[in-house]
Amino acid sequence: MSFQRMKNVSGSHKEGFTRVFLIGAGKGGKAVLTRLLRFNWVQIVGVSDLNEQAPGILLAQEAGLPVFIGDPLQFLQGLDVDLTFDLTGDHLMHTRLLNLPSRSFDVVTGAVSYLLWSVIQELEEQEIQLRAHLGEHRVLLEINQMLSRSETSEQIFEAIVMGGIRMTGMPAGSLSIFDKEKQQLFLVAAKGFSSEFFKNPVYSVRPGGLTEHILSRNEPVLIPNIAEFPSFNNPVLLKEGIRSLIAVPLLSEKGPVGILYNDDFKSRTFTSSMLEVLRRLATLAVIAIQKQQALEEIKSLSIRDPLTAMYNRRYLSEILAAEMDRAFRLHRPLSLLLIDIDHFKAVNDRYGHVVGDQVLHGLAKLFALIIRPYDTIARYGGEEFILLMSETDAEEALAVAERLREATASEKLLPEEAVLTCSFGIGMLKPDETRLPTPEELIQRADKALYEAKRAGRNRVHVFRDDSAASPSRTENN
């Protein structure tokens, strides 16, 4: 492919898409490409391999995608890319990608790339095995197709519930997802119930209770007549008038995923064929849920910094512009906090880059515990972070910054007795502004305040003011 064509590909970027480039088009590359082609938020800008007959190259050509035969780094320089998957397993390629000068895209490589490929490959193999046994079950096949077409978790959950209702002929059903860490179930979809049913979507697994019994079994739990089942004490279902149910545990190799309930308002008997198709639906449901979780993880990687798990700079740019526009239109305050680690170069020089990475990771975890759940924090540069705070004036932003500053100085993040500190600069979009500044201008306001904090001695917070460079807050000498 010529360089001229590569420039044409770069120019075809669609707004709102994640632009993906795949390196390595063997079996794993083909599996990843097959999955990514199903999602309308992904734009494949190129597939590269040294072998022009590689399976992924042939698939890309069938799909009308750009293919590149040769050194992928040569082609990448002419493309506009957000996320690059390295599926070669080549350590040299891994190193070259990460050290590529002026790299503006994120890279999924090494162990992460292998993990995601393995998950997708395993799910592909499980689907193939299951499809071989679904010839006599047309309804199951239709449900499976519906699950495959679903692009969101909500669509998948609803398809699973409707599948159970269709196969059993029961008028109601629900799906709850299990959180092992919290030992709780979360109601995610339901059909056939009143609005009251949805008022308590979270419930705990009680030791010795019916829910724990269901999750511990490999088979559906049948209750043909609730009146004859004295240990049944679910007040929500009783209030709904449920008289019989089937509870199908959704189990993966790692443990329970959730429970699919099928309910009736009268007592009834259950046939062995009904139980068999429910077992198969349960398997399909687990595969669909795990597949969606894997793909959501891939999407998350395109907007997350791999070291800190914070949002990356590209995602911040998108959300910052939108939040500034909203605040300006509604005449609401917005604050942006620019954070810089003091003397971070000295940390790397003295303790090494491994410790430096551990500091960044530890600081990100510390910040996550302190910031408000509705704020957005991103890694802006090497040792710089940006905290975006909507509906927040200077006084509130200053309080948040002080909590972060004090927590950083108090946390044991460095070896020996060394203390790590940060400096903070606050830029604001005020409700009475007559002109909407650009995101770059807002960041410059925070940067000027940060400069003043550094110049004043570090380990302090400064707020940008229009009438002066910045005004200081309470500070402590570093």
- Catalytic positions, please? 383
What type of residue is 127?
A: E
List of residues 6+ apart from 220 with CB closer than 8 A = 246, 247, 248, 249, 275, 278, 279, 282
**Nearest Cα to 65, choosing from 43, 87, 38?**
43
Q: Which residue shows structure tokens 């019989």?
A: 244
What type of residue is 44?
A: I
Give burial (CB, 10 Å; 0-12/13-18/19+) of 342. Answer: buried
List of residues 6+ apart from 236 with CB closer than 8 A = 196, 197, 200
Cβ atoms of 29 and 59 closer than 8 Å = no
What type of residue is 305?
A: D
**Residue 423 CA: distances (Å) to CA of 43, 48, 339, 349:** 39, 44, 6, 20
Give burial (CB, 10 Å; 0-12/13-18/19+) of 285. Answer: buried
What type of residue is 188?
A: V
Rounded (10°) angle between helices 138-149 and 272-303: 10
Paired with 263 in beta bridges are 172, 245
Q: In what order do the strands lie in the sheet with 376-379?
A: 376-379, 384-390, 334-341, 422-429, 460-463, 471-475
Question: 196-229: buried (b, 16+ CB within 10 Å) or exposed (e) per residue?
Answer: ebeeeeeeebeeeebbeebbeeeebbebeebeee
Compute, in degrees rounded to 10, the torsion defined by CA atoms 457, 458, 460, 463: 90
Paired with 44 in beta bridges are 20
